[in-house]
């Protein structure tokens, strides 16, 4: 069974500083990996996803993530934080088994606070 761990339930960074949100996964088969963002009082929306191919994935709002198989990680980064980035971020992993079954599992989320 797959699982996903987000290190740090709360992260604070100064405006203009690097954003780094950590995500590690476990999976016995090649995973699909996602980052979703949830702004206050809203539903989740997709930031970016990795399925196959290039391991560095670029998403919306200047975010990117790199799939590192050897480290079982999919950390989310942004070079320069903006006040509008304040939100909760969820990493998710999905696998497709040999029987064609799919399961998407979300991490517990990281709340990002931007300090003016």
Residues that bind another protein (CB under 8 A): 9, 32, 41-46, 49, 51, 90, 94, 96, 102-104, 106-109
Shortest separation between residue 27's beta carbon and another protein, angstroms: 13
Decide whether 17 or 64 has the Cβ nearer to another protein.
64
Decide whether 73 or 94 has the Cβ nearer to another protein.
94
Beta strand 73-78 pairing with 19-26: antiparallel
Contact between residue 17 and residue 66 where contact means Cβ atoms under 8 Å apart: no
Shortest separation between residue 47's beta carbon and another protein, angstroms: 11
3-state class percentages of the chain: helix first, strand second, coil last, to nearest 5: 5, 60, 35
């Amino acid at each position: 069974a797959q699982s996903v761990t987000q290190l740090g339930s709360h992260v604070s960074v100064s405006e203009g500083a690097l954003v780094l949100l950590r995500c590690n996964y476990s999976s016995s088969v090649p995973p699909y990996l996602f980052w979703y963002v949830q702004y206050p009082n809203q539903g989740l929306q997709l930031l970016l996803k990795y399925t196959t191919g290039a391991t560095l994935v670029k998403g919306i709002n200047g975010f990117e993530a790199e799939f590192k198989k050897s480290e079982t990680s999919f950390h989310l980064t942004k070079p320069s934080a903006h006040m509008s980035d304040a939100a909760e971020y969820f990493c998710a992993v999905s696998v497709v088994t040999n029987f064609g079954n799919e399961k998407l599992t979300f991490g517990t989320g990281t709340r990002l606070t931007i300090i003016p």
